Amino acid sequence: MNEHHHHAHENTKLIINRLSRAIGHLESVKKMVEDGRECSEILIQIAAVKSAVNNIGKLILQDHISHCIVNAVETGDKKVLDDLNRAIDQFIK
């Protein structure tokens, strides 16, 4: 992480809360597997966790664009833009 990215974003608390919920949900899916629950039930819950994680990623991306990218454009910081392009490439695979 670059030193100029150590500032708080407006959605940090929301993102942390959503991550905690997704982690809890994934733990419950793990318990379902341990308990031998139906595969179809488990797959449905995994799809729900994936959707939650994707939504968290979108929120982080929106937050990043609203703060870091606007600042990078204003200051001409090409590295931040290059980093964003690499992150988007990984996120949408």
Q: Which of 65, 33, 66 is nearest to 49 (CA)?
A: 33
What is the total count of domains within the chain?
Answer: 1
**pLDDT given for residue 21 in this prediction:** 98
CATH number for the domain including 84? Answer: 1.20.58.1000
Q: Say what the pTM is.
A: 0.77
Domain that holds residue 56: 10-91
Residue 2 belongs to some domain of the structure: no
* pLDDT tens-digit series, residues 11-25: 889 999 999 999 999
Residue 1 belongs to some domain of the structure: no
Residue 81 belongs to some domain of the structure: yes
Rounded Cα–Cα distance for residues 52 and 21 (Å) = 9
